[in-house]
Amino acid sequence: MELNVVNIQGKETGRKVELPDSIFGIEPNDHAIYLDVKQYLANQRQGTHKSKERAEVAGSTRKIKKQKGTGGARAGSLKSPVFRGGGRVFGPRPRNYSFKLNQKLKQLARKSALTYKAQNNAIVVVEDFSFEAPKTKEFAAIKKNLNIETSKSLLVTKDVNSNVYLSSRNLVKSEVVSVNELNTYSILNANTLVLSESSVSELGNILNA
Chain segment 95-134, per-residue pLDDT in tens: 999 999 999 999 999 999 999 999 999 999 999 898 889 9
Cβ–Cβ contacts within 10 Å for residue 63, how many?
A: 12
HEC secondary structure over 104-173: HHHHHHHHHHHHHHHHCCCEEEECCCCCCCCCHHHHHHHHHHCCCCCCCEEEEECCCCHHHHHHHCCCCC
Chain segment 59-79, per-residue pLDDT in tens: 888 898 999 999 999 998 999
Task: Kindly report the CATH class assigned to 2-45+97-207.
Answer: alpha beta
Chain segment 139-166, per-residue pLDDT in tens: 999 999 999 988 999 999 998 889 999 9
- What pTM, to 2 d.p., does this model score? 0.84
Per-residue confidence (pLDDT) for residue 209, from 0 to 100: 63
CA angle 189, 108, 19 (to 5 degrees): 75
Chain segment 12-56, per-residue pLDDT in tens: 888 888 899 999 999 999 999 999 999 999 999 999 999 999 999
